[in-house]
Amino acid sequence: MVQIRTYEPFMTKARDDRLKKVEEAYEQFKKDRTFHFPTWLYGEPLGKLFKVEVEDCPRFGDTAWLEFDSARTAFLVIDMQIDFCGKKGYVDVMGYDLSLTAAPIKPIRACLDAIRGTDIKVIYTREGHLPDLSDCPFNKILRSKIIGNGVGIGDTPPGGLGRLLIRGERNWDIIEELYPMPGEYVVDKASKGAFHQSTMLQQLLNIFPPPTHLVITGITTDVCVHTIMREANDFGYWCLLLKDCTGATDYGNYEAAIKQIKMQGGVFGWVSDSKRFIEAVKGAGLK
């Protein structure tokens, strides 16, 4: 006979305590449709609380609200580099429509204008590789060379600004319209995600107070943005994507990526837009 092992009984108390908090939050959500900032988990707010309206939550067609503590909120600007949304950069050389990846520039800038000077932290990411390409997989370079008709990662295109997706090159850097201000954070990564091949997690843990909620913007929606959002979600961060502050090289992929986030009541987080986010920030009187 196979004996079924049960978990140690001392684990029951912690489980019951957590489920009690979940039940309390569920009952509160039914009353006001709000995912409240859980003070039992993080402590009392250190900044100002503000609520952002989110769409299609928990089901498509529904509306809910996500509550933030401004002091524990980080605003992520993912890969807004010349290589991905500027002329003579990687995406341009690959032959994609730059208007799709450049579309988020103005909405992101509006959000930055609204939060700079508040206690909301701003964190940028840049994707790029070492000059010797030792951190870039062989198949990634090969794919880029094929789609670029002989010009790929590490090459300088005719009339280009520098070697594509190589750290230190002009085309690798963040576009001028969204360039970081003194005191803002920049995380360099050699991958589509940021929690594996970068210092992202360490940065988040070392900021005081450590962020619990992330507002996510940048490009591309279906690749780096989605990967980072999924990673952050697995670490327990409350993730809000601003849909007009992100874009992809293919509009169908953009739409699909947004829809995926909304599935299962928000499987990777929540979706809103810059207008609702800015209204919430200004309504809380953060500045």
Which sequence positions are flagged as catalytic?
Answer: 79, 189, 224
- Distance (Å, rounded) from C-alpha 101 to C-alpha 91? 9
- Identify the pLDDT of residue 1: 65
Residue with the two structure tokens 């709000």: 34
Calpha distance 65→284 (Å, rounded): 14
pLDDT of 17: 95
Q: Supply the DSSP string of 164-213, one letter for each residue.
A: TTBTTSGGGSBPGGGPPPTT-EEEEESSS-SSSSSSHHHHHHHSSSPP-E
pLDDT given for residue 203 in this prediction? 95
* Phi-psi map region of 236: left, alpha, beta (phi>0 left; psi -120 to 50 alpha): left
The two structure tokens encoding residue 209: 């107070």
pLDDT by residue, tens only, the chain of 287 residues:
677 777 788 888 999 999 999 999 999 999 999 999 999 999 999 999 999 999 999 999 999 999 999 999 999 999 999 999 999 999 999 999 999 999 999 999 999 999 999 999 999 999 999 999 999 999 999 999 999 999 999 999 999 999 999 999 999 999 999 999 999 999 999 999 999 889 999 999 999 999 999 999 999 999 999 999 999 999 999 999 999 999 999 999 999 999 999 999 999 999 999 999 999 999 999 97
List domains and CATH numbers for the chain. Answer: 70-89+97-135+176-283 (3.40.50.850)
Residue 10 pLDDT: 84
DSSP secondary structure letters along 8-41 = -GGGHHHHHHHHHHHHHHHHHHHHH-EE---HHH
For the chain, where are the E strands, in sequence order?
A: 34-35, 49-55, 63-69, 73-78, 121-127, 185-189, 213-219, 238-247, 270-272
Counted residue by residue, the chain has a size of: 287
Which of 113, 76, 108 lies closest to 187 in space, CA to CA?
76
Burial class of residue 34, CB neighbours in 10 A (0-12, 13-18, 19+):
middle
Alpha-carbon span 157 to 163, nearest angstrom:
7
Alpha carbon of 203 to those of 79, 123, 186, 200: distances in Å? Answer: 17, 9, 9, 5
Determine contact, residues 250/91, Cβ cutoff 8 Å.
no
The residue type found at 156 is T
Residue in the block written with tokens 């579309």? 103
